[in-house]
Amino acid sequence: MVRPIVVLDHMTGTGPARYVHRMRPASALHRGAPRARPHRRVRRSCAVTAALLLSMALAGCQGSSDDGSAPAKSPAPRTTSPEEICFDLVSYWAKQELRGGQNSGSGFMQKGLSNGQNTILLAAVEAGRAEQQRHGTTAAEKLMERQVERGCERRYRNGTPTEGIWQ
């Protein structure tokens, strides 16, 4: 039995029927029957709309000043000196060692330190432990920070060491 098939608007799937198809039964629509494709005009208008939106977005990204001159450049990012990196790393691990914190006692490579930075760390922790017994943890941390700062300044006084990455 052939039943009439009402095909709805192919763009939205709703709305009034565009045509009535009487050649296939209703179940044929679900068995690989060809689907309606959008018209070329619709595709073209979608492409034009996308291009227009993209150009508007890109035009909004360009900076300009009120007088028409070029926009001011943002300042260059600040670079961290090797001495500062050394101080930050070594003082962090010195405090961890003093407190017996997480990963204290692990190898210097696991901590991200070079051999030279590890030497500074060991000297600072040794002095810090002695100071901790005499005057407490706060005094020990201050002493370690001073020692680490001096050690890192000495180490990087003439630039970065060139003996190798772990020196």
Dihedral over Cα of 41, 44, 46, 52: its sign: negative
Mean pLDDT along residues 7-11: 54
Share of the chain above pLDDT 70, in %: 59
Please name the amino acid found at residue 167: Q
Average pLDDT, the chain: 75
Cα–Cα distance measured from residue 27 to residue 18, given in angstroms and rounded to the nearest whole number: 19
Find out whether 17 and 6 touch, Cβ atoms under 8 Å.
yes
Bigger pLDDT: 162 or 29? Answer: 162
Residue in the block written with tokens 């922790």: 125
- pLDDT class for 167, splitting at 50, 70, 90? very low
**CB of 97 within 8 A of CB of 105?**
yes
The pTM score is: 0.52
Q: Average pLDDT of 85-111?
A: 86
